[in-house]
Amino acid sequence: MDRRLKNALYAASAGVCGSSAGMFSKIGMSVNEFFGLNDQALYTNLTRFVMLAMVMLANIGVWLMYTRSLRFGSTLVSTGIGIASNYIFTALTGVLLFSENCSILWACGTLSVMIGVILMSI
């Protein structure tokens, strides 16, 4: 496999892991609303513990994938691809899983960050 492709795949995986950590923490903090557990303390606490463990695993995945991507490319490219994949995956999970709205302002901000990273890598 080409070095640039490996760099892109590992960096994108790091971004997805980072976004997943945020998703797991959001689920863990809103267990009652998300799963409909009406103050059932045992299930609520067990679910929060599992989500905390998933956040830790996702953060380990971020660092593992990011450091592997650095083997195959520059820091700037790895960071840019990681940021882009994190933003895109965060938007998708927010809209599909949590029924959030992505405003024009959010999209413009994300696009500005991505353009800035691309300009820095030129």
At residue 26, the 3 state secondary structure works out as helix
Is 0.85 topped by the overall pTM?
Answer: no
Supply the pLDDT for residue 39: 63
Tokens standing for residue 95: 């809209």
Model confidence over 7-41: pLDDT tens digits? 999 999 999 999 999 999 998 888 777 666 666 77
Number of H helices and number of E strands within the chain? 5, 0
Supply the pLDDT for residue 6: 93
**Under a CB-based contact definition with an 8 Å cutoff, are residues 7 and 81 in contact?**
yes
Supply the pLDDT for residue 117: 75
**Under a CB-based contact definition with an 8 Å cutoff, are residues 10 and 68 in contact?**
yes
Supply the pLDDT for residue 15: 95
Q: CA 87, CA 92: separation in Å to the nearest integer?
A: 9
Tokens standing for residue 16: 């997805």
Q: Which position has the token pair 């083997």?
A: 71
Asked whether the predicted pLDDT for residue 92 surpasses 70, the reply is yes
What's at 48, amino acid-wise? R
Q: CA 101, CA 83: separation in Å to the nearest integer?
A: 20
